[in-house]
Amino acid sequence: MRRGPAITALAALAISLTACGSAQTPPGGAAAPGGLQAKPADLSGANMYFIANTEQMGWFVTDADGLPLYRYDKDVPKPSKSNCEGECAKAWKPVLADKTPMATGVDPISMGVLTRPDGTKQLTIQGWPQYTFAEDKAAGDMKGQGKGGVWFVTAPNGAKITGGKAQNNTQNKSSGTPSTSPSSGGQTPQSAPPPAAPGY
């Protein structure tokens, strides 16, 4: 006799829980009245950068289009100063930082901004001004790697990547051929599976 009221109470509880659950909105639906709703982050006020990995280069920094960022040995990191102007800046386009720089996989403390002589703002990583190469047209192009022996793809820690053979690089036979051995501050080429992405 006692079973009946207990089963009735459990059934009532199940119905009330089902009713509560049905009030929840599935992902992509409208928010439930009075419920909390996550607001997407507004990144319109930021310049976004990322990291990528290839067997030849290991981890390196890219712009939002997947083009690699380069650093120039003739620049100065402390204080940051670009020595690429005029015709040089047409081939090696300064990476603009007219908005707050944000990067996935790059320590935000290492990122900065310098003001060029023409007043434009340029991204720096560990003090080194950053550039893209005009001949790189699509993600994966690295035609500027080792160019003239002074242009190198930038690693996430700001170091130049001097090891390995870059993709699509027709300049490998010149005196600007990248070294196959790591130099001080450089990154060892990846001969084994790439390590986990650097995280910050």
- Reported as half-sphere exposure (CB side, CA atoms, 13 A), residue 175 has a value of 2
User: Environment class of residue 1 by beta-carbon count within 10 Å: exposed (0-12), middle (13-18) or buried (19+)?
Assistant: exposed
pLDDT at position 95, please? 95
3-state secondary structure of 7: helix
Q: Give φ, ψ of 168 to 5 degrees.
A: 60, 25
E strand residue ranges, the chain? 46-54, 58-62, 70-72, 76-77, 80-81, 92-94, 100-103, 111-115, 121-125, 128-129, 131-133, 151-153
- DSSP element (H, E) containing 22: helix 3-22
* Ranges 103-107, 142-146, 160-164, most confident: 142-146
Distance CA 3, CA 7 (A): 6
Q: Mean pLDDT of all residues in the chain?
A: 74
Phi-psi label, residue 34: left if phi above 0, alpha if psi -120 to 50, beta otherwise = left
pLDDT at 24 over 60: no
Mean pLDDT, residues 123-138 taken together = 97
User: Environment class of residue 99 by beta-carbon count within 10 Å: exposed (0-12), middle (13-18) or buried (19+)?
Assistant: middle
From 21-30, 52-61, 76-85, the region with the lowest mean pLDDT: 21-30
